[in-house]
Structures are given as structure tokens and as C-alpha cells.
Amino acid sequence: MTNSSLTGRWQGTLMDNYGTPRLPLVRGAGATVWDAEGNAYLDLVGGIAVNALGHAHPAVVEAVTRQISRLGHVSNLFIAEPPVELAERLVALAGRPGRVLFVNSGAEAVEAAFKIGRRTGRTHNVAAVGGFHGRTMGALALTGQPAKQEPFRPLPGEVTHVPFGDADALRAAVTGRTAAVFLEPIQGENGVVVPPPGYLAAAREITRAAGALLVLDEVQTGVGRTGHWFAHQADGIEPDVVTLAKGLGGGLPIGATLAFGPAADLLTPGQHGTTFGGNPVVCAAALAVLDTIEADGLLDRVKRTGERLRSGIEALADPLVERVRGAGLLIGIVLTEPLAPQVQQAAQDAGLLVNAAVPGTVRLAPPLVLGDHEVETFLRELPGVLETVRRSRRPGE
């Protein structure tokens, strides 16, 4: 099968998420993927922060193969070892008592958090402008991006969106009627927007004072992405609810809603559930991810490679780069002009996969196992990519 035949076929049969061209890929190993013509690409997108251990990591392959050969699925009528062990591990990593609900995606993890909030007896939620929490109806109501919401109004619940990073605005919006405040520790889809220091701690204090839940959406930032198991651990705060997905399954679909303290008891039996949530095979994959992060010292490694990438990009002093922001291996290259889609295309042409999160920012979310030599390859190739974009843009564009 050739690339071109795949391109023609998907456009006729798959509903299109983004309306942009898609590169057909056939194989991956580590941080490299190949197309059908055998062209290799250095993958700094990582399935949008999903392929934590890169592609075809032996630990994930082994865990999945072993589990599916033994017991592939049991439903929630029964219980198997992997989801129990995974829940125990996640709660231990959070470092305090809690309970876990397994689902199949980030949006579903947020939906469960939405329902936990409802069980406080309150219906008002607060979320951040520019935030992204998923595309199902509840998650979309929380997503602070009007263009994604408009076609689907009315959306469930009463949600106040406040500017991200502004503690005073948050304080003014949260009242005794507020069920929960939903925040990303770093806004990923919005272009890797990092709040000022102390913002999450202020959110913790504000929600506690109002008797509202603090829900941190760590779907993108969790599971080692920022060099911590959970990004909020860098702030030393204790949210009531944490949502995870993406990197947790190392490429397999899984989401998790972690609830701590009294929030862990708000959903009672019969109030929520899903057929596939806690599937033993995806939980076995997730356990392999956690084991490997631990065994290979990937949290420290992510801090180091992230720092090298950030400082390396800054040191290029390219006129198209305004600044670089992020934490660990979630990096936003903020451009001086809204040319991120062009940078994405030029990078792809040069054998590098990056993501135009928003027009003004290029996002990097590579596998956590990204090697030093791969970082240097990227830093060597990037100036040529940026120069291509600068040269090809038309005057006044």
C-alpha cells in the first residue's frame, strides 16, 4: 500500500478532526516513525503526548502480549489484577489516600470529574479561558475555546470562564455555589501556556475556602511529561481530583479520574461506569509505562532533556522565535508571527514531526525516552526549517 492510496481512502471514509493534511505512517520505534515510502521522521509530537515510551517499546509490547494472551477483558462485573494494581500505583504516586475510576480517554476522565462535582450538590463550575478539557458535551462545556463550543450550544451546566493565571479573577468567580474549578497545570492545547508561580496554590486556597473542589486536568501534563509524576507536584499542592489519560497507556487508550479525601466518596455505586474502563490489557500497558519511567529514571531525564531542548532553541536566537516556554518535555516555541502551521509543514519536509498547537506556537511533546543525540539532531535541523518558513512567506503575510 502506498502513501497516496491511504490518503485518498481516509478522506472518503473517516470523519475529519482537523481539516488539515495527514501524513500516513506505517511503523515506529522509539522516537522515530516511518511512512510507507520508508522515509523516517523524528517524532516530537509523540501521538500528542501519548507515546510516553516512544513507539513499540519492548516493555509495553511484552506487557500487552502477555495480558491479552491470558485475559483480555472482563467488564466491570468482574475484577482482574491489572486495574487494581494500577489504581494502587497511581494513588501511591500521588502520595495520599484516594480512589481511581478508569475510563478510556481524557474527555471521559473529565466527564467523571464533572459528575463528581455534581455530587457536591452544587452545579456551577469555573474553568479557564483557553483551557481544553475534551470534546464530549460536559468536557466541552468546560473547554474555554468558544469556536469549539459554538456549534454545540446549549452545553450542559453553568460554567464561568476566567482568564488563566489570574488568581484575582478566579477568586471573584468562585462562590459558595461553585461545585468545582477545572484547571490544567499548563494549558497544552492552547499553546503550552504556563501560569505564573503560585497560581495553582492560590487556586487551592480559593477552592478550599469556598468549599469547592479543585480538579486538575493532567491529561496532557501527567505521567512524567513535566519531569514529575503529576505536574502539580512541582507546586506542592493537593487537588481533590486529578484527570489523566494520554501518556498513561503508552499508546493504548486509557483515562483515569483520581479522587482524594472526601471527593473519593462522592460517586456512589451505580452512579457511573463504562464497559471498557479498567480493561486489563490497557492497564497492563500503563503498568509497564510506570515501571519503565521508574526503572529508567525518566523523570530526571525528562527534566534534563527538556532543559537542553529549551535552552538550545533559545540559543538559536532565531528571528522567528519570540520565546520558549513549558516544563520538561512539554514545550511551546512561541513565534513572532502566526506561522506555526508553516513551521509544522517545513519541519515534516525536513523529517521532523512537530505540532502547530495554535497558529502562534509550535508544540513539542516528544516521547519521554527522547535521546540526547535526537535532541541534538532537532537543534541542528531547526534553524533550516525556520529559515525555509521565513523565506517562503510572502511579504505582508
Give me the active site residues, please. Answer: 132, 217, 246
Residue showing cell 525536513: 350
Three-state secondary structure call for residue 308: helix
- Contact with ligand PMP (CB under 6 A): which of 41, 102, 114, 132? 132
Give dist(CA 213, CA 202) in Å, integer: 13
Is 301 an interacting residue with respect to ligand PMP (CB under 6 A)? no
- Contact with ligand PMP (CB under 6 A): which of 106, 117, 195, 366? 106
Is 111 an interacting residue with respect to ligand PMP (CB under 6 A)? no
- Comparing CB distances to ligand PMP, the nearer of 82 and 191 is 191
In 3D space, the residue among 257, 180, 167, 264 whose CA is nearest the CA of residue 215 turns out to be 180
> Binding residue per annotation — 219?
yes
Is 235 an interacting residue with respect to ligand PMP (CB under 6 A)? no
String marking each residue 244-263 x if it binds ligand PMP according to CB under 6 A: -x------------------
CA 186, 294, 48, 285: dihedral to nearest 10 degrees? -130
- Comparing CB distances to ligand PMP, the nearer of 142 and 293 is 142
In 3D space, the residue among 150, 254, 167 whose CA is nearest the CA of residue 202 turns out to be 167
- Comparing CB distances to ligand PMP, the nearer of 31 and 245 is 245
Give dist(CA 43, CA 365) in Å, integer: 9
Is 194 an interacting residue with respect to ligand PMP (CB under 6 A)? no
- Contact with ligand PMP (CB under 6 A): which of 43, 111, 217, 240? 217
The residue number with the shortest CB distance to ligand PMP is 106
- The distance from CA 393 to its chain's CA centroid, rounded to whole angstroms, is 31
Query: What's the Cα-to-Cα distance from 183 to each of 51, 113, 143, 250, 262, rounded to whole Å?
Result: 23, 12, 10, 24, 20
> Binding residue per annotation — 150?
no
Is 164 an interacting residue with respect to ligand PMP (CB under 6 A)? no
Amino acid at 191: G
For CA atoms 346, 130, 180, 327, the dihedral sign is: positive
Is 318 an interacting residue with respect to ligand PMP (CB under 6 A)? no
Feature table: binding site for pyridoxal 5'-phosphate: 106-107, 132, 217-220, 275
Binding site for ligand PMP (CB under 6 A): 105-107, 110, 132-134, 184, 188-189, 217, 219-220, 245
Feature table: binding site for N(2)-acetyl-L-ornithine: 135, 274
